[in-house]
Amino acid sequence: MNAKVEKEGAVNALDMVKLVLAAVLLVAGIVAYYSVDWSGWARLGILLAGVIAAAAVGAFTAPGRTVREYLSESQFELRKVVWPTREETLRTTLVIVVVVIILSLLLGLIDVLLKWIVLDTLLGAGG
């Protein structure tokens, strides 16, 4: 049995209080941003303080720990990715550009042929 198994979706009362407090801090920061008549940087500072305080309080809840764990595991997985070199990227981009040009020419040719067949030949409207 896995030791990390927890009750899914269960948020205890303390976590609920913390989440409500985080929401209140976030709303307070947003309200203060729009209601205070200060310079732009001071207002932005108030907004950022509210967002950071809400994130800090929310990070110490069970959902916050889950998000932190997910971000940590995602960062670990990103280290495993083998990114293409500059030459590979340029070569692939060139192939895509050539294919797009060829396909656009083919579609344009099909369009001209269908126009010629339908309008000029069948309907006789090419006059």
How far, in Å, CA of 112 to CA of 127, rounded? 16
d(CA 73, CA 93) in angstroms, rounded, equals: 31
> Per-domain residue ranges for the chain?
13-78, 84-127
Written as six digits, the tokens of 115 are: 């126009």
Distance CA 31, CA 43 (A): 10
pLDDT tens by residue, the chain, 127 residues: 445 555 555 668 888 999 999 999 999 999 999 998 888 888 899 999 999 999 999 999 998 899 999 999 999 999 999 989 999 999 999 999 999 999 999 999 999 999 988 888 888 765 5
Q: How far is CA 109 from the centre of its chain?
A: 38
